[in-house]
Structure 1
Amino acid sequence: MSIAFRGVAHTYNSGTPFSYAALKNVDLTLEEGKITAIIGETGSGKSTLVQHLNALLLPTQGELEVCGKRISAKEKPKNLKELRKNVGLVFQFPEYQLFEESVEKDIAFGPKNFGASSEEASAIAKRILPYVGLGEEYLQRSPFELSGGQKRRVAIAGILAMDPNVLVLDEPTAGLDPQGAREMMELFVRMNREFHKTVLLVTHDMEHVLRYCDDVVVVKDGSICTHQSVTDFFKDPSILKELRITPPAVIRLREALNARGFSLADDLLSIEALAAAVASEVKGHE
């Protein structure tokens, strides 16, 4: 089941001198079963957009449909508990999601809230924690004593424990070292490929977008600028330059080689393909 925004707008502090239109007439359909990157400059409206998906924010205009639930600016939503079970949102700052006295209780909170017994919820916490790269020795530790990267892992574990159909991840690898970021992205790919989760990823990391994602949505000034497959999006790096976002290394190398006289196709998106094309072009000029 796809996710559909229809004419969605959101204005913060509406009717006050501090009124700010964060989203403007958004029409967007996101396909089920894909990993979709949502990118854009800071303040473009990315986080506002994804917080509508489990009704943390409500549209001030228009409507959206998520997991069969319709949310409209014209009526107050009801029975949001099932929606929030089906759509798991990991915030940009993990501290917003951590509040229990131990890691185990934090991860178990969601399952208990949705009907699991204390024993069942604890068992889920123990089973989920290794998925995010933490051992059982962390279960009884206070989440507030952990490093930033460990807090992020616990916050993600708390969402995975609820087994949502849709994972919404706002800068999920921030604060992680390169190996930890790679492991986390591979976990999300596994959730998508093996467990058929729809994954929405808010990120500034174009390497992750190129390597792991299927589609790209660009948000600019509260509107959807473009929605393309990753392959089509990276054929033309001009939009990244416009957004002041650094392209992936392979794209930068391709453009640098073309600037020096090569004629490399714009669909070369891996270092292996790029190396083969360079070798072929060099050989052709021998």
Structure 2
Amino acid sequence: MPIRYEGLTHIYQEGTPFSYLALDDVSLEIKEGAFTAIIGETGSGKTTLVQHLNALLLPSKGKLQVLDRLITADQKPKQLKSLRKQVGLVFQFPEYQLFEETILKDVCFGPKNFGATEEEARDMAVKMLKLVGLDESYLDQSPFELSGGQKRRVAIAGILAMDPQVLVLDEPTAGLDPQGAKEMMDLFVELNKTYHKTVLIVTHDMEHVLHSCDEVVVVAKGKIKKQCDVTTFFEDVELLKQLRIDPPAVIKMREALRERGFSLGKDVLSIEALAKAIQSEVQKHE
């Protein structure tokens, strides 16, 4: 079942002098099982959009269908607890999710809250921490003594330990070094492709979008400006300029070569495809 926003509007501090229209009559459908990037400038409404998915925020107007749940403006969804097991949201700032005195207790909290035994929760916590690159030596450490990147790994492990059907990630690789970021993105791709989880990622990193995602949703000033597959998105060079997006390296190289007379199609989106296209062009002029 797809995720479907229908005429959804969200106004922060509605009815006060400080009210702010964050989402304006948004209608959007996200395919089940897709790996979707949510992109846009700071303040565009990206985070507000995804925080509706587990009813962390409720619509001011309109409605949202998530799995078998209908979230509306005038009625809180029933059984929010089970909804938040199905839709796991990793915040942009991991400190917002960490609260226990040890890493083990923090990652165990979700499974235990949903009925797992102490032993089951511990086994799941150890498994998920290993999955995000943290071994058992971390179990008894305080999450607040970790580096920013390590805190992010623990926050992600805590969400994965609940085995959600939908995984929502708000800038999940911020604070990680390049190798750590690649490992995290590879993990999210595996969760999507192998375990068939629907994944949504809010990100400014276009390399991640190009190499990991299936679809792109562009948010601008609280509205959906564009929704398309990744190939179509990166073919539209004018849109990238309009959005002031820093394209991936291969797109920059492709456009630089085109400006110098190379006949390279807009569908050249990988190093391998670029190398092959350049070789073809050179051979034509030998």
Tell me the TM-score normalized by structure 1: 0.99
Counterpart position of 1:44: 44
- What letter matches 1:15 in structure 2? G
3-state SS of paired residue (2:5): strand
User: How many pairs does the alignment contain?
Assistant: 286
Following the alignment from structure 1 to structure 2, what is the Cα–Cα distance between the partners of residues 238 and 13? 36
Counterpart position of 1:27: 27
Residues 184-229 of structure 1, C-alpha deviations (whole Å, 9 max, x = no match): 0000011111111100000000000000000000000000001100
Residues 14-65 of structure 1, C-alpha deviations (whole Å, 9 max, x = no match): 1111110000010000001110000000000000000000000000000000
Counterpart position of 1:139: 139
Counterpart position of 1:249: 249
Counterpart position of 2:227: 227
Following the alignment from structure 2 to structure 1, what is the Cα–Cα distance between the partners of residues 275 and 153? 36
Counterpart position of 1:95: 95
Counterpart position of 1:74: 74
- What letter matches 2:251 in structure 1? I
Which structure 1 segments of 5+ residues have no match? none
Following the alignment from structure 2 to structure 1, what is the Cα–Cα distance between the partners of residues 229 and 107? 34
Counterpart position of 2:173: 173
Give the drift of 1:77: 2.1
Q: How does 1:196-235 map to 2 (within 5 A)?
A: 196-235=196-235
Please provide the CA RMSD for this pair. Answer: 0.7
Give the drift of 1:75: 1.8
Give the drift of 1:83: 0.7
Residues 101-133 of structure 1, C-alpha deviations (whole Å, 9 max, x = no match): 000000000001111122221121111111000
- What letter matches 2:189 in structure 1? V
Give the drift of 1:237: 2.1
Asked if the contact 2:35–2:200 (Cα under 8 Å) also holds between the matched residues in 1, the reply is yes
Q: How does 1:183-202 map to 2 (within 5 A)?
A: 183-202=183-202
Q: Structure 1 residue 271 and structure 2 residue 276: aligned?
A: no
Counterpart position of 1:107: 107
Following the alignment from structure 1 to structure 2, what is the Cα–Cα distance between the partners of residues 227 and 130? 35
Following the alignment from structure 1 to structure 2, what is the Cα–Cα distance between the partners of residues 77 and 193? 30
3-state SS of paired residue (2:70): strand
3-state SS of paired residue (2:48): helix
Flag as ranges the 4+ runs of structure 1 deviating above 3 A.
none
Counterpart position of 1:124: 124
Q: Percent identity?
A: 68
3-state SS of paired residue (2:265): coil
- What letter matches 2:79 in structure 1? N
Which structure 2 segments of 5+ residues have no match? none
